[in-house]
C-alpha cells in the first residue's frame, strides 16, 4: 500500500495540529516553518497576551483592594512579569516541538515555495507529496497615515514587550485585539484611549454585550472615540500627538504610545501562488468546504483562508483537511465555533447574534439571565449576563452570548450542545453544580423555554421577528438555586 506523503507549510496552530494528525494517520509528514513553531498565537498573540492579562487583572484587584477583607500592598514588578510571560511561551513552544518529534514529523526550518505537481522547495531541498497543506497564518494589517512610522507607534507584538507600561496609550482599533490591550494597560495603570472607526466597538459581537463592555470600560477610566478616525501622528519632544477626526472636527490627543490594532490579513505573499494559478479572494486563499483550493491536493487552513481567524478554528481546519485527505470526510461545523474575548469582564459567544437573525429574517426566541442573580458571580463581586437564542418552532439553539466572570470557560457547554443538535430543553434539564457561574446556563435556558425558574415572577418581551414571549429572571442577589 502506498504510504501518503504530506507537506505542511507553517507551524502555527493549524499547521502543527495538521502535522500531528497526518503523522498519526500513517503519512510521511513534513512541516516547513520559517520562523518559530507555535505561530503568532503562541509566540506573539494569544498566549503571551493572556499571560499578561492574568497578571494585570490580579495586580488591579490587589492594588485597589477590591476583595473585602484584603488590604493592598501590591507593587508591579514588570520585568518579572515579562520574564514569566517569556518562560510560558518557551515552555509551550518546546511542547509543540516535542509533540511533532514524538510523532515522527520531519521539521524543516526555512521559507517554502510551491512548485507544480504538489512539490515544495525549501532551501536546496525539493519535497514531493501527495498533498500540501498551507497553514501560513496572518500578519498585522497595519495602517499607513502621516507619522505611522514614528518611534512609539507600535503593533501588538511590540506592545507585549515594552520596557515598562506607558503612562498613556492610544489604541487605534476597537476590535478584539484592541479591547484586550485596553483591558491590560488599564489594569497596569495606564491612561487608555480607544479610537474606533465604526459606531460601536466589537462590531461582530452581540450589540448589547459590546455596549455593556464599553460602558464598563468607560467606568474603569478608558476614553472611547467611536465613529472616529486617526488622521496623523506628530512626534513631539515628550509624547506623540494623535489627531482624531470625529463628527467632522479634528481633535488632538497626546499619548506616550500609539498602538495599531486594526486587525490582521492573510500572510500569503512569496509562496508562488500566482505562478500556480491558486485562486484568491480579497487577499485570502479561496477554499471549498473541505479547505481545498482550486488546485487538487492543495489545501489552505487557518488564518490564510480568512474563513474564521481564530487559533482553535485553525486547529479544527487543520484536522479537517487531513481527514479529507485520508477518507474524503471532514468534521468541521463552522456555525458551532466559540469566540472568546479576554477583557474584564470576559466575553464569550457561539452561533448567530440577534442582528444576524433579523437580517436573515429568521424567527427566534431569546432568553436572558442577569448574573446579579448568580451566587458565584456575587461572591466574586462580578456582574454580567447570559442570553440564549433559539429557533421559534423547534427550540434549537441558534446562538449563546455571555459577558461576565469566567464565561470563556463555560461557553464550551453551549458549543457542545449545539454540536449535538441539542435544544434549550437539554440545557434546562441538566443539573448543574452549585454555586457556579455555569448554572446560569440552566437558568437562562429555563427562561427561553418558558419554564418558570425559581424566583422568577416577571415576563420579558423577547425581540426579533416572530418571537414568542420569554420570561426573564429578576431574582434577589445571590438567590441562585435551591436554598
> Which residues are registered as beta bridge partners of 402?
348, 386
> So what CATH class is 153-262?
alpha beta
* Domain 345-469 = CATH 3.40.718.10: no
5-140+265-335 and 153-262, same CATH topology = yes
Model pTM? Answer: 0.91
CA distance 178 to 218: 14
Active site residues: 434
Decide: residue 149, CB within 10 A, 0-12 exposed, 13-18 middle, 19+ buried. exposed
Task: Please state the domain extents for the chain.
Answer: 5-140+265-335, 153-262, 345-469
- pLDDT tens digit at each of 483 positions of the chain: 688 999 999 999 999 999 999 999 999 999 999 999 999 999 999 999 999 999 999 999 888 877 788 887 889 999 999 999 999 999 999 999 999 999 999 999 999 999 999 999 999 999 999 999 999 999 999 888 999 999 999 999 999 999 999 999 999 999 999 999 999 999 999 999 999 999 999 999 999 999 999 999 999 999 999 999 999 999 998 899 999 999 999 999 999 999 999 999 999 999 999 999 999 999 999 999 999 999 999 999 999 999 999 999 999 999 999 999 998 888 898 889 999 999 999 999 999 999 999 999 999 999 999 999 999 999 989 999 999 999 988 889 999 999 999 999 999 999 999 999 999 999 999 999 999 999 999 999 998 887 444 433 333 333 333 333 344 444 333 334 333
Cα–chain-centroid distance for residue 88?
A: 19
CATH superfamily of 5-140+265-335: FAD/NAD(P)-binding domain (3.50.50.60)
Smallest Cα–Cα separation from 407: which of 353, 342, 346?
346
Contact 224, 218 (CB under 8 A): yes
Amino acid at each position: 500500500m502506498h504510504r501518503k506523503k504530506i507537506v505542511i507549510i507553517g507551524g502555527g496552530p493549524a499547521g502543527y495540529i495538521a502535522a500531528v494528525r497526518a503523522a498519526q494517520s500513517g503519512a510521511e509528514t513534513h512541516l516547513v516553518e520559517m520562523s518559530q513553531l507555535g505561530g503568532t498565537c503562541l509566540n506573539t498573540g494569544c498566549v503571551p497576551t493572556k499571560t499578561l492579562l492574568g497578571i494585570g487583572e490580579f495586580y488591579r484587584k490587589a492594588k485597589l483592594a477590591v476583595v473585602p477583607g484584603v488590604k493592598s500592598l501590591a507593587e508591579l514588578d514588570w520585568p518579572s512579569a515579562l520574564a514569566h510571560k517569556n518562560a510560558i511561551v518557551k515552555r509551550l513552544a518546546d511542547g509543540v516541538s516535542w509533540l511533532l518529534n514524538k510523532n515522527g514529523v520531519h521539521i524543516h526550518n526555512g521559507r517554502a515555495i510551491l512548485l507544480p505537481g504538489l512539490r515544495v522547495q525549501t532551501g536546496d531541498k525539493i519535497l514531493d507529496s501527495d498533498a500540501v497543506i498551507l497553514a501560513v497564518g496572518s500578519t498585522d494589517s497595519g495602517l499607513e497615515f502621516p507619522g505611522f512610522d514614528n518611534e512609539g507607534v507600535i503593533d501588538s507584538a511590540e506592545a507585549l514587550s515594552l520596557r515598562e507600561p506607558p503612562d498613556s496609550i492610544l489604541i487605534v482599533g476597537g476590535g478584539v485585539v484592541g479591547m484586550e490591550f485596553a483591558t491590560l494597560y488599564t489594569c497596569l495603570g495606564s491612561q487608555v484611549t480607544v479610537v474606533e472607526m465604526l459606531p460601536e466597538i466589537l462590531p461582530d459581537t452581540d450589540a448589547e454585550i459590546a455596549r455593556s463592555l464599553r460602558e464598563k470600560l468607560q467606568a474603569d477610566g478608558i476614553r472611547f472615540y467611536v465613529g472616529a478616525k486617526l488622521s496623523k501622528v506628530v512626534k513631539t519632544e515628550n509624547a506623540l500627538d494623535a489627531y482624531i477626526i470625529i463628527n467632522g472636527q479634528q481633535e488632538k490627543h497626546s499619548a506616550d504610545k500609539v498602538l495599531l490594532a486594526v486587525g490582521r490579513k492573510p500572510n500569503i505573499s512569496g509562496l508562488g501562488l500566482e505562478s500556480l494559478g491558486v485562486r484568491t479572494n480579497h487577499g485570502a486563499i479561496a477554499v471549498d468546504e473541505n479547505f481545498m483550493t482550486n488546485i487538487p491536493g492543495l489545501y489552505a487552513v487557518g488564518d490564510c483562508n480568512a474563513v474564521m481567524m481564530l487559533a482553535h478554528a485553525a486547529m479544527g481546519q487543520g484536522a479537517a483537511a487531513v481527514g479529507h485527505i485520508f477518507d474524503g470526510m471532514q468534521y468541521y461545523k463552522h456555525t458551532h465555533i466559540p469566540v472568546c474575548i479576554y477583557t474584564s469582564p470576559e466575553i464569550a459567544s457561539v452561533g448567530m447574534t440577534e442582528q444576524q437573525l433579523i437580517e436573515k429574517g429568521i424567527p427566534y426566541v431569546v432568553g436572558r439571565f442577569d448574573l446579579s442573580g448568580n451566587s458565584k458571580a456575587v461572591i466574586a463581586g462580578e456582574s454580567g449576563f447570559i442570553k440564549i437564542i433559539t429557533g421559534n418552532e423547534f427550540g434549537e439553539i441558534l446562538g449563546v452570548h455571555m459577558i461576565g466572570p469566567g464565561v470563556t470557560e463555560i461557553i464550551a457547554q453551549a458549543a457542545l450542545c449545539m454540536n449535538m443538535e441539542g435544544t434549550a430543553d437539554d440545557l434546562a434539564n441538566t443539573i448543574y453544580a452549585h454555586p457556579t457561574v455555569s448554572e446560569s446556563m440552566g437558568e437562562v435556558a429555563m427562561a427561553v423555554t418558558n419554564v418558570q425558574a425559581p424566583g422568577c415572577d416577571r415576563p420579558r418581551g423577547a425581540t426579533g421577528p416572530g418571537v414568542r414571549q420569554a420570561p426573564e429572571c429578576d431574582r434577589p442577589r445571590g438567590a441562585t438555586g435551591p436554598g
